[in-house]
């Protein structure tokens, strides 16, 4: 099974302790379907999304000079395919996703705690593409000093939505709000 197999409805992103944002991606049956590899020493917070056989499928990295967090999503060849931006003013958690031509394609809206997000069409909030839930949220409240890893569940609600962009989006949201 490949990372972007259309039959996968849920993904579990599991950061490993001491990998600082790297880890594995699992399907609902617990099969490893992909990898996240963070470059350890990188001002750009570079993360590579890979198949299980370590074939790179996309790169995610932070723009260095920006008034707000902005993350680029690129092909392994370096071609820009998307960009995640946190709005300048947002009272609840929010990150917008743009295509390579700077057209907004998704809007992720979270709650005050920034644990759960709904990814919707920017023009039609009723059109939901996916939901992202932080699976270990209570550990952040009761044991923040032991917060070495995160676990997210991504529920794909629109089977035609591009999984690569949704997985990259989840990683960007984690970086913006939880991997400071």
Sign of the C-alpha dihedral, residues 19, 21, 23, 29?
positive
Closest to 37 measured CA to CA, from 55, 63, 10:
55
In a domain, 47, yes or no: yes
Bridge partner list, 12 = 26, 153
Closest to 152 measured CA to CA, from 169, 129, 166, 170:
170
In a domain, 1, yes or no: no
The total of structural domains in the chain comes to: 1
In a domain, 3, yes or no: no
In a domain, 38, yes or no: yes
In a domain, 5, yes or no: no
In a domain, 2, yes or no: no
pLDDT at position 90? 67
In a domain, 172, yes or no: yes
In a domain, 93, yes or no: yes
Closest to 108 measured CA to CA, from 135, 131, 74, 138:
131
Q: Are strands 23-26 and 32-38 parallel, antiparallel or unpaired?
A: antiparallel
Enclosing domain of residue 159: 10-177
Strand, coil or helix: what is 169?
A: helix
Q: Per-block average pLDDT, block size 10, for the chain (180 residues)?
A: 90 73 88 88 78 95 80 95 86 87 94 83 95 69 49 92 92 76
pLDDT at position 66? 73
pTM summary value: 0.84
What CATH number has the domain bearing residue 172? 2.40.160.200
Residue 1 and residue 33: Cα distance in Å, rounded?
A: 7
Residue 94 and residue 85: Cα distance in Å, rounded?
A: 9
Residue 92 and residue 116: Cα distance in Å, rounded?
A: 11
């Amino acid at each position: 099974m490949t990372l972007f197999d259309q039959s996968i409805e849920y993904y579990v992103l599991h950061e490993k302790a001491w990998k600082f944002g790297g880890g594995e991606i699992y399907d609902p049956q617990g099969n490893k379907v992909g990898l996240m590899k963070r470059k350890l020493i990188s001002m750009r917070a570079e993360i590579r999304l890979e198949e299980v056989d370590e074939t790179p499928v996309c790169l995610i990295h932070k723009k260095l000079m920006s008034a707000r967090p902005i993350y680029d999503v690129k092909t392994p060849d370096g071609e820009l395919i998307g960009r995640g931006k946190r709005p300048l003013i947002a009272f609840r958690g929010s990150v917008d996703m743009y295509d390579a031509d700077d057209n907004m394609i998704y809007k992720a809206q979270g709650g005050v705690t920034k644990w759960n997000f709904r990814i919707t069409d920017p023009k039609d909030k009723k059109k939901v593409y996916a939901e992202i839930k932080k699976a270990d949220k209570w550990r952040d409240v009761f044991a923040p000093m032991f917060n070495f890893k995160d676990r997210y569940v991504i529920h794909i609600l629109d089977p035609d939505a591009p999984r690569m962009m949704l997985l990259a989006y989840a990683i960007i949201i984690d970086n913006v709000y939880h991997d400071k």
